[in-house]
Structure 1
Amino acid sequence: MVEKHIVDSLETWFYEETDKIPVNSMQFAWVGQAGFLFKTKSIRLGIDLYLSDSLARKYQGGEFPHKRMVDIPIPPDSLTNLDVVLCSHGHTDHMDKETLTPLFSDGKGPLVIAPRYEVSRLLDMGIPSSRIVGLSEGESFLMKEGIAIHAIPAAHEELTYDSWGQIKALGFVVDMGFVSWYHSGDTVRFPSLCESIKTWNPSLCFLPVNGKKPHLTEKGIIGNLSIAEAGNLAKDIGASLLIPHHFGMFDFNTVAEDSIISTLSDQGWEKDATFILPSLKTIYTYTNERK
């Protein structure tokens, strides 16, 4: 079961004590692109957070200026109480220096879990080595709270490895005990993906829907699952709830919300029941009533 409510401020929500969260429940909020924040009674977690305008500054005046279509919903220096941040790969809208470094402003900071392929990038950002966990496909990390994080291979748009065999991009299955969920990062479908995910039996899927666009791929802006491909993948792994992402941030690389709704509805997904179209400043509370 999922309930939702709109808030005036994500900062206020994120800093609220977790004892108000029901047993066997998690709350999550979309912060744009592929980014989400999660809260349970025991942990605060973020994934693929892009909470700056660094790409707009980098590409200002270029063919693809990367101007945000939405405001930054929460400043990164308001997230110093995060326990862990997952980064699926090294692209800035998933691993952003201007988002990550403020998390360590108080001298502490979260664990940052990312592909081992990208650990040197995190070190170059100034992230303390003691706070970095590098994973490659098939590996897992068990947190002290009993939460297990499993590394799933991702192909963005191809499976890419370094000379040591470390994969460049990951998705993650996060097992919180009462629920497991899968966040793909950026990926297209490849033969072993479905079985890699099904191993961990996630109930929720967070999947990109912006697809592949040849004119962007030629320019080095590589693609993802389409809306229909995301719907099919979620069905094939047996997920009960699909949450699309990777839309509504940059005007040159997005899809219309109406298209997401109509395509998934045509596949048999039911809006607000089996799929959620996330919106900003909305808190979603998922409860596993069977536990």
Structure 2
Amino acid sequence: MVKPIQKDKELITDINSTINKTEGFRAWWLGQSGFLIQYQGKHLLFDPYLSDSLSKKYAQTDKPHTRISERVVEPSMLNMVDVVTSSHNHTDHLDAETLVPIFENNPSIKFIIPEANRTFVCERLKCETDFPIGLNDLQSVDIEGFKITGVPAAHNSIERDEAGNLKFMGFIVSFGTYKIYHSGDTLWYDGIVEVLKDFKVDLAFLPINGNKPERRVAGNLNFEEAARLGKEIGAKLTIPHHYDLFEFNTENPENFIQKAEEYGINYKILQLGECIEVF
């Protein structure tokens, strides 16, 4: 079992210890695709999954979701969150057991979703239909100093509802002089580089678990594609995600390291619960 380098109270103490820092920003990996961003005392949380809901759901099936890492933090302990995202409707990105406690402990929180998913999201989370803030591709919203822009994601294809709204989304977040790209879940699709490169992102969070039909789940970039995409969009720093959670759907980050070095990109492999500071 992969253990976080810090978890629960130790993690919260670490987050709180830098809340008054005015220079740079910080990012903590909370597992799978979940990252907490801290900037100027404000916090944005990308796609958290902090429960065992999927392991319980699939325990008696032919597709068990066996955990290979410990949970980083009890979601109710995250009482400093200003903005949280869900990039699409899959449970490891839209988990009621994670999000409801976060909502309860952050009464002013704002919740960003693809507009196409509003009905599904509100039914799963038992929230009011006007609570989520819905985006479509290249639509933006400004919240607590974060400008959040939706961009397409292909999981496994780019899908839209009848009104043309994206069902799978990544996010560009601009704050101060910085820009971050969080991929959500995505494959490489025609035009992805053109969509992203003009943003000139400082940091790209990219999945590496790949797309293997035998897993019987929608796939993602593999480790080589993630390294190549980081290079082609000109990301100043690339951090991989979407691995080390479930036994059947993971990847060895050493494979990403090899490709990242071949492509000559700046990268960082975070341990669970680890923080990186960017200036």
Partner SS, residue 131 of structure 1: coil
Matched ranges for 1:42-81 at <5 A: 42-81=41-80
Let me know the Cα RMSD of the aligned residues: 1.6
Q: 1:245 is matched by which residue type in structure 2?
A: H
The answer (yes or no) to whether the contact 1:174–1:181 under 8 Å persists in 2 is yes
| Equivalent pair of 1:80/1:109 in contact (CA under 8 Å) | no
Which residues in structure 2 correspond to 1:78-157 (within 5 Å)? 78-106=77-105, 108-124=107-123, 125-143=125-143, 145-157=144-156
Write the deviation string for residues 86-130 of structure 1: whole angstroms up to 9, x where unpaired: 111110001111000011224715111010111112211123445
**2: CA distance between counterparts of 1:61 and 1:157?**
26
Shift of 1:222: 1.0
Q: 2:253 maps to what in 1?
A: 257
Q: Could you tell me which residue of structure 1 aligns to residue 228 of structure 2? A: 232
Quote the offset at 1:214 in angstroms: 2.1
Q: Per-residue deviation at 1:212?
A: 0.8
How many Å apart are 1:280 and its aligned residue?
A: 1.1
Structure-2-length-normalised TM-score: 0.92
Aligned residue for 1:187? Answer: 186
- Which consecutive residues of structure 2, in runs of 5 or more, have no partner in the other structure? none
Q: Distance in 1 between matches of 2:40 and 2:106?
A: 24
What is the match of residue 273 of structure 2? 281
Counterpart-to-counterpart distance in 1, 2:204 and 2:259: 17
Query: Hey, what's the Cα distance between the residues in 2 that align with 1:84 and 1:107?
Result: 9
Distance 2:153 2:95 in 1: 19
- 1:254 and 1:106 map into 2 onto residues whose CA distance is 31
CA contact (8 A) 1:81 1:109 kept: no
Fraction of identical pairs, as percent = 35
Q: Residues 88 and 12 (structure 1 numbering): CA distance in 2 closer, same or farther, change over 3 Å?
A: same
- Determine if the alignment matches structure 1 residue 266 to structure 2 residue 267: no
Name the CA shift for 1:250/1:137 in 2 (closer, same or farther; >3 Å): same
Gaps of 5+ in 1: 1-5
Measured in 1, the distance between the counterparts of 2:84 and 2:106 equals: 16
SS at match of 1:103: helix
- Match of 1:12? 13
CA distance in 2, matches of 1:60, 1:53: 10
Separation (CA, whole Å) in 1 of partners of 2:246 and 2:238? 22
In the alignment, structure 1 residue 166 sits paired with structure 2 residue 162: no
| Structure 1 residue identity aligned to 2:269 | L
What displacement does 1:258 show? 2.1
Distance 2:82 2:246 in 1: 29
| TM-score under structure 1 length normalisation | 0.89
The residue identity in structure 2 corresponding to 1:180 is K
Cα distance in 2 for partners of 1:94, 1:109 equals 21
Cα separation, 2, equivalents of 1:261 and 1:75: 30
| 2:25 match: secondary structure | strand
Q: Which of the residues 243, 248, 257 maps onto 1:247? A: 243
Please state if 1:32 is matched with 2:31: yes
The alpha carbon displacement at 1:139 in A equals 0.6
Query: How many residues are matched?
Result: 272
Residue 212 (structure 1) aligned with residue 211 (structure 2):
yes
| 1:163–1:259 Cα change, 3 Å | same
Give distance in 2, aligned partners of 1:137 and 1:158. Answer: 14
Contact 2:37/2:43 (8 A) holds in 1: yes
Q: Which runs of 4+ in 1 moved over 4 A?
A: none
In the alignment, is the contact (CA less than 8 A) between 1:204 and 1:241 conserved in 2?
yes
Counterpart CA distance in 2 for 1:135 and 1:202 is 20
Aligned-pair distance for 1:60?
0.6
In the alignment, residue 14 of structure 1 is paired with which amino acid?
I
